[in-house]
Structure 1
Amino acid sequence: RAGARGENFPTSRLAPYDLGGTIHVVINNQIGFTTLPEEGRSARHPTDIAKLVEAPVLHVNGDDPDAVYQVAIVAAHWRATFASDIVIDLVCYRRPGHNEFDEPRFTQPLMYRAIDARPPVNEIYAARLEAEGIDTSLMAAEADTMSERIAAGLAAAKSYSVNRADWFEGAWKGFRAGSTVEMLGSPETGLPLDELRRLGRLLTEVPTGFSLDPKVARFLEERRHTIETGEGLNWATGEALAFASLLAEGMPVRFSGQDAVRGAFTQRHWELHDQTTGARHLVLAPAAKDLNHVEIHNTPLIEHAVLCFEYGVSLADPRRLVVWEAQFGEFLNIAQPVFDQCIACSEDRWLRSTGLVILLPHGLDGGGPDHSTGRPERLLAACAGANLVVANVSTPANFFHLLRRQMHWPFRKPLVVLTPKALLRHKACVSVLADFGPGTAFRTVIRDDMVKRPKRVVLCTGKVYYELLLARAERGLDRKVALVRLEQLWPFPADAVAAALKPYRTAELVWCEEEPENMGYFRHLAPHLEQAAGRPFRRAGRPASATPAVGVKAWLEAQARALVADALGSG
């Protein structure tokens, strides 16, 4: 649509999206349903958006097939010669109106009086050829045959049904559609500890003679230390090990996002910058079997066009991990059309699988109304059957396994992860190297095996777990309250939840979430939670609100204390 096309032009000459030029064909029927051009745009032509990149525009009369042919030839030569965009403005009209059942004469009587009086283009062209002494009988016969084929196709469409998964051919050969049951399972994705340490050294190597910023140097030293000692691996380290390990296994990785290379929260530093010469070093490159497999890019704040492009890449190459990260979770709002109309329903609606990963920084930790939520309520509303994986994981190791699982499944599903902000430097949000090691895998649910006979069991997901953990210790409730973490929100891991709750048959069940009631998880998950547990849950969280978060820190902290107290109780 026009919105996506308008966003595509500004990205068309950026390295991650440069296709060597595109031929854009605008079928300009001079009307938008019932809206005239002067009511639908400020520009003179619908192609004026091409001026953003100074692309040439060829205006051509759609009733002149020879001119259209010549324009197409010029466009093809332009792209081949200059590897840049060119636009064809095919000026024409809709004879039936917006569709075959619409009546355009209600709103454009003069325009359609002229159209009604004008012969169709095939008749105009045939008359011209006949005037030049060219026999058109063959063309007329072919036109009749085409009409018959169209009619037969429409009749056959009424009884059409998909009888084979034809999208698993070509680049997709060997893949299949995954079921809900399969999406609840996780293959072992751990690696030998020596391999993890080897990758850690590669991730923290600095080229000889490279003048590094002192803070970045300290960052790399700390990362290397945690990997070598096997203690205190933080979120960004777990993420880097996941991507480095996939590259080492020969899998291409394409990672893009807004300030994603350094990290919007200064957590990654995937590209080092020489402070003297400006030279750059991509830290993931040494781990890759093939340097062409490493695509790490910053992107402009043009979410819809960028996500459309990344979705397309994921459709073309199932053996490449394609990841897009929003600067903040709310920014998926701008790309909602492609998410709703293509990604979430890719298999069901379009018969196409995708393994696209979307990272949405999420959490009510002081960002205010516009930088706090990845909209979990919208994500869960889009979930049905085996269409989508939604996760909000709580440990670096589990995030590592989640990313690796995406490529080690024998099928592809879109994955949306509500990633943390405050937890990136949280001292408790760390993992040991053994959690990345042999025999380990992604866990859909993390139990609290330290508490044997609690009076209350609190289920939660994501960042709020650490707030509950701290408050539980401060209140002396370590033996009275068990904390169970739901790491995968969809497909809902009913059996894993039931198993985690089985030892606590008499305990009160509480679901705790930091989000407002109308923007959280409970409204969608409550039926599944209660069916798995065999009894009801009580919700603890912020009340419903028109905005995701307050903008005053003191209010935010007071709300957090209240919801944690409500969840834990007094014992």
Structure 2
Amino acid sequence: AHVYEKEIHFKNIFLVCIIIMLFRRIYIKQILDRISVNWNSILNTVDRNEGTYKVSSVNFGVYLPHSPSQAAGLPQPSITDKGERSAKYFPKRKRPSKADVQEQLTLLKIIRGYQIRGHLAAVLDPLSIKRKKLFRPEFPSRIVVRQHRLAVDREKSYLLPSTTFVGRGQYRMLLGDIIKRLNEAYCNTLGVEFMYDQMQHTRNWISEEVESADRVFFTKEERINILQRLAAVEALEILLRDKLPQEMRLSVWGLESGIIAVQELIKRACWLGADTFIIGMRRTGRLSILANVLQKPLKEIYSLITPVDRGLIKYTHGAYSEIPLPGNDSGVARVSLTATSTIPEAFFPLVLGKTKGIQTREFDQDLRERVWPVIIHGMREINAQGVAYETLKLQLHNDFSPSGAINLVFGTRADYRIEENDPTLSSYCTDVMKVINAPILHVNADDVEKVINAIDMAVKFRKEFQRSVVVHIVGYNRWLNLLPPLDYKDEIRKKATEEKKPVTLQYGKILIDDKVITEKEFDAILLEENNKVQDAWNEAVTQSQSFDWKKWSDVVSPQLPRKNKTIAEGAPIITGYDKDKLINFANLLAKEPVGFALRSSDLIKLKQNSNMVYRNSLDWIMCEALAFASLIEEGYQIRMCGTHVNRRGHILKEMSDDPCPRRHNMIESLFHFSRPFFTICKGTNSLYGTLAFQIGFSLGDPNAFVIWEAPVGDKISRVQPILDTYVAAAKFKLFYECGIVMYIPHGQKCVDAFTVCNGRPERFLQLCSDDEAVITLDPSKQLQDINMIVVNPYNAAAIFHLLRRHNFLPHRTPLVTFMPEDITECSPEFRATFEDLSGDKTFQRFIGESSIITDFNKVRKFCSVLDVFMQI
């Protein structure tokens, strides 16, 4: 038979009909609900004499048109046929009324109100001063739902929208159950701020974590372990109150759950693949962190606060420990508590930089997952210090981001929300964290299990999205009760603190009520922890304690070996390089990259480089680039940061209308490495934060050559606290070996130079620890004993040898280099040749006379105006 268009043989049609009949007999109801009645006419009017049937396509599959002999009078059957339908199998749906639609929209607004403003009604104040402890999960708060109201009928069922997860698998729920679950999720002792995040998938992830029933379940043994740890923290705080009341500023008494939060953070992060933690904090709770988190012996901790060496503040020193993980015989967590200063929030950028240095020192992408920064902020400091905002903005840059940090805020005051007349004018002390869209979890410190739930959520968020997260633990300081009240607010707070039971007693009562332990077992736990602390104190008092600074180093193990040269005592450090390689590097730096449409200014710069190579007259920029290239070839990583670092022309941009044009790294193009060895970070105007970050990076990677360049004009007054703490006093106070290189463009050309320029060499010379009464003839010994090196290079060759010598020193010392303000304009006397950079040349501290003078009368003499006046 002839086939026209799309045809199916009769045998196939017959087989299809048999299959349809079988399905009709077995699943009559299901088939009738889905198949039009017009198919019956097709099945009953098949012309068996015809050999074929024509088939043509329609919207929903294919239909079988009648044969030419049956064309008259038969309608075309189709699944989408608009003919009459059976009312029995296809009842008409009832359109929802306008009131039902309005109620459904109101429910959606109420759910969104809980997600946005639920934290305002949460029970966060442990002293019940700001808001009385009144939690009724059956009724929504007015501050949450605002003007949106639903009917009083709580037995009415509503369809749940896709933006909520309170259904936990259900699609419809009663109104009363919806309100109850929303109150339990957002208005209990945990409040969440996250709806300002611009990423929809992160908002959905957080709402699912908060609203779902997948909470952290604690076994009987785990709850007893939590109680034991709380008792250990409280025992140490009570000892400080009784034995050393003058050191109560280090106390965290009243915020014991914050220490439990740090312990749980390390444990749960290790379950997700992390193994190294860099902790930064100021002083509140520092002793408890050392004792309960880093597990330092109490006898050694007491040496930090005993009257030995009273003039030295020792609790600011760092520490490092390898903590065995519970339930894992071979696994350990490497925890480093960074040494800090008394300057508020100065440790914040330092810790992030140190973490970034450890993550990149082995060029291992897995280190981003394994090394986590943990920042413990104070309530007042994070809201008032500008460096906190600077550091948060730095995390938005890839070159400064450690792939997210866990920020813990210890709210040790009852007024966890800022007063209305406070000049900061913010709702919470953590509002500054919203600039990076970090979710904020506010939790009541008295609810220990809820604190652990918040930590578990924060750890999962950092692991999932590689972003920062904030956990605000709202507590109070019990030791403030020992101070006399200043105003009526302090009297109210003091009275509330006296009536408040410690969190250890509260949690112990909960376990007793739940029949997890008995009162006798609870008393035994308290007595055991108190005896441990008291015995360690008695042992420390009877024995003379000498402070050993080697035990208080925060260097993360295993420490990378320094790639320095073996230098004999008294011998100069040879910094010259192979001449042929230097010429090859210089020619490549003057070569136009292939496939790049450069701007005219870049082409002029490349032509100038070519002329310098041809004439053998190298300026500052070329000598510096050759020093970088030689160090990279020897395996060093170079990182530059500053406001005007791009004026060197090491990074070329393509001439394009694209707002983000392609970039060409001239120095990295010299080598065919798959990993970046030369990084230029055009930082923001944040001098304070970028310098501290660069210092931390130098501490994290001892083999990295880290450079920070000040703005043009000697403007370094904003970084003076960092200079005093982490540069001048780093070696002898914090026991830091920092190899940071500071470039200071020197030259007061502006009109108001004496008022805005303060990068004068005498300021840094005053900070040097070089004793003028002690003369050291060995230059290497002198470089080892001082706290920093101050240099003013005399020509371009000096900067080449200076940079190479600084990396080859057996010890790490900060280098302060005064450079010309305009390095693009180089006089002929300042230039160098390839011969000056190669061979056995070295850095010359002094330049002697090139010729012998026989006639001293021909020597030109100069003197000051004062000497001339005295001679007259």
The reply to whether TM is greater than 0.5 is: yes
Corresponding residue for 2:259?
none
Q: Distance in 2 between matches of 1:480 and 1:289?
A: 54
Matched ranges for 1:204-219 at <5 A: 204-219=590-605
Tell me how far 1:324 sits from its aligned partner: 1.0
2:817 to 417, 421, 426: 417
Secondary structure of the 1:296 match is strand
Give CA deviations for 1:18-69 in whole Å, capped at 9, x if unaligned. 111111111111289xx98954632121101012122111111112211111
Q: Distance in 1 between matches of 2:810 and 2:653?
A: 38
2:510 to 116, 121, 128: 128
Matched ranges for 1:98-177 at <5 A: 103=483, 105-106=485-486, 108-135=490-517, 136-137=522-523, 139-148=525-534, 151=537, 155=541, 158-162=545-549, 170=557, 172=559, 174=561
1:302 aligns with 2:703: no
Q: Distance in 2 between matches of 1:213 and 1:185?
A: 48
1:381 to 763, 766, 769: 766
Corresponding residue for 1:363?
747
Tell me how far 1:321 sits from its aligned partner: 0.3
Corresponding residue for 2:831?
430
Kindly indicate whether the alpha-carbon contact (under 8 Å) linking 1:25 and 1:88 is maintained by their aligned counterparts in 2: yes
Corresponding residue for 1:229?
615
The letter of the residue matching 1:109 is E
Matched ranges for 1:15-34 at <5 A: 15-30=398-413
Corresponding residue for 1:272?
652
Tell me how far 1:159 sits from its aligned partner: 2.2
Corresponding residue for 2:438?
55
Q: Distance in 2 between matches of 1:244 and 1:60?
A: 52
Kindly indicate whether the alpha-carbon contact (under 8 Å) linking 2:393 and 2:435 is maintained by their aligned counterparts in 1: yes
Kindly indicate whether the alpha-carbon contact (under 8 Å) linking 2:562 and 2:703 is maintained by their aligned counterparts in 1: no
1:78 to 436, 457, 461: 461
Q: Distance in 2 between matches of 1:44 and 1:455?
A: 77
Relative to structure 1, the CA distance from residue 422 to residue 452 in structure 2 (aligned partners, 3 Å threshold; closer, same or farther) is farther
Tell me how far 1:252 sits from its aligned partner: 0.7
1:252 aligns with 2:637: yes
Q: Distance in 2 between matches of 1:57 and 1:259?
A: 35
1:445 aligns with 2:846: yes
Secondary structure of the 2:750 match is coil
2:582 to 192, 196, 221: 196
Q: Which moved more, 1:138-147 or 1:123-132?
A: 138-147
Q: Which moved more, 1:329-338 or 1:389-398?
A: 329-338
Kindly indicate whether the alpha-carbon contact (under 8 Å) linking 1:187 and 1:441 is maintained by their aligned counterparts in 2: yes
Q: Distance in 2 between matches of 1:97 and 1:157?
A: 32
Tell me how far 1:238 sits from its aligned partner: 1.3
Q: Which moved more, 1:163-172 or 1:319-328?
A: 163-172
Q: Distance in 2 between matches of 1:454 and 1:379?
A: 39
Q: Distance in 2 between matches of 1:364 and 1:195?
A: 37
The letter of the residue matching 1:435 is D
Q: Distance in 1 between matches of 2:564 and 2:670?
A: 31
Q: Distance in 1 between matches of 2:720 and 2:654?
A: 38
Give CA deviations for 1:122-158 in whole Å, capped at 9, x if unaligned. 2222222222222235642453255337636964794
Secondary structure of the 1:358 match is strand
Kindly indicate whether the alpha-carbon contact (under 8 Å) linking 1:389 and 1:415 is maintained by their aligned counterparts in 2: yes
Q: Distance in 2 between matches of 1:153 and 1:217?
A: 74
Q: Distance in 2 between matches of 1:150 and 1:121?
A: 24
Tell me how far 1:343 sits from its aligned partner: 2.3
The letter of the residue matching 1:392 is N
Q: Distance in 1 between matches of 2:427 and 2:823?
A: 51
Relative to structure 1, the CA distance from residue 164 to residue 198 in structure 2 (aligned partners, 3 Å threshold; closer, same or farther) is farther
1:406 aligns with 2:790: no
Which structure has the higher relative contact order (CA within 8 Å, separation 6+)?
1
Q: Where in structure 1 are there 5+ consecutive unaligned residues?
A: 457-478, 483-507, 511-537, 541-565
Tell me how far 1:297 sits from its aligned partner: 1.4
Secondary structure of the 2:472 match is strand
Corresponding residue for 2:860?
481
Give CA deviations for 1:499-537 in whole Å, capped at 9, x if unaligned. xxxxxxxxx8x6xxxxxxxxxxxxxxxxxxxxxxxxxxx
1:345 to 717, 722, 729: 729
Secondary structure of the 1:399 match is helix
Kindly indicate whether the alpha-carbon contact (under 8 Å) linking 1:177 and 1:353 is maintained by their aligned counterparts in 2: no
Q: Distance in 1 between matches of 2:714 and 2:851?
A: 36
Relative to structure 1, the CA distance from residue 356 to residue 41 in structure 2 (aligned partners, 3 Å threshold; closer, same or farther) is same
Kindly indicate whether the alpha-carbon contact (under 8 Å) linking 2:621 and 2:823 is maintained by their aligned counterparts in 1: no
Q: Distance in 1 between matches of 2:686 and 2:842?
A: 35
The letter of the residue matching 1:481 is R
Relative to structure 1, the CA distance from residue 358 to residue 450 in structure 2 (aligned partners, 3 Å threshold; closer, same or farther) is same
Q: Distance in 2 between matches of 1:117 and 1:259?
A: 59
Secondary structure of the 1:112 match is helix
1:335 aligns with 2:719: yes
Q: Distance in 2 between matches of 1:318 and 1:22?
A: 22
Give CA deviations for 1:389-426 in whole Å, capped at 9, x if unaligned. 11111211101111111111121111111111146413
The letter of the residue matching 1:376 is P
Q: Distance in 2 between matches of 1:228 and 1:153?
A: 75
Q: Distance in 1 between matches of 2:741 and 2:544?
A: 34
Q: Distance in 1 between matches of 2:549 and 2:420?
A: 40
Q: Distance in 2 between matches of 1:313 and 1:157?
A: 38
Q: Which moved more, 1:2-11 or 1:298-307?
A: 2-11
Kindly indicate whether the alpha-carbon contact (under 8 Å) linking 1:247 and 1:287 is maintained by their aligned counterparts in 2: no
Relative to structure 1, the CA distance from residue 306 to residue 200 in structure 2 (aligned partners, 3 Å threshold; closer, same or farther) is same
Q: Distance in 2 between matches of 1:106 and 1:157?
A: 40
Q: Where in structure 2 are there 5+ consecutive unaligned residues?
A: 1-344, 346-381, 771-785
Give CA deviations for 1:64-103 in whole Å, capped at 9, x if unaligned. 21111111011111111111111111111122239xxx83
The letter of the residue matching 1:245 is S
Q: Distance in 2 between matches of 1:416 and 1:388?
A: 7
The letter of the residue matching 1:284 is I
Secondary structure of the 1:205 match is coil
Q: Distance in 1 between matches of 2:700 and 2:462?
A: 22
Secondary structure of the 1:425 match is coil
Relative to structure 1, the CA distance from residue 128 to residue 31 in structure 2 (aligned partners, 3 Å threshold; closer, same or farther) is closer
The letter of the residue matching 1:400 is F
Tell me how far 1:442 sits from its aligned partner: 1.2
Relative to structure 1, the CA distance from residue 126 to residue 194 in structure 2 (aligned partners, 3 Å threshold; closer, same or farther) is same
Q: Distance in 2 between matches of 1:165 and 1:68?
A: 30
* Bigger CA radius of gyration: 2
Tell me how far 1:110 sits from its aligned partner: 2.6
Corresponding residue for 1:551?
none
Give CA deviations for 1:369-401 in whole Å, capped at 9, x if unaligned. 266442323322221141111111121110111
Q: Distance in 1 between matches of 2:446 and 2:854?
A: 81
The letter of the residue matching 2:615 is T
Percent of residue pairs bearing the same amino acid type:
24
Q: Distance in 2 between matches of 1:204 and 1:327?
A: 27
Q: Distance in 1 between matches of 2:401 and 2:516?
A: 44
Secondary structure of the 1:445 match is coil
Give CA deviations for 1:229-281 in whole Å, capped at 9, x if unaligned. 322x1111111111111112111111111131x22xxxx11111111363210
The letter of the residue matching 2:600 is P
Q: Distance in 2 between matches of 1:116 and 1:69?
A: 26
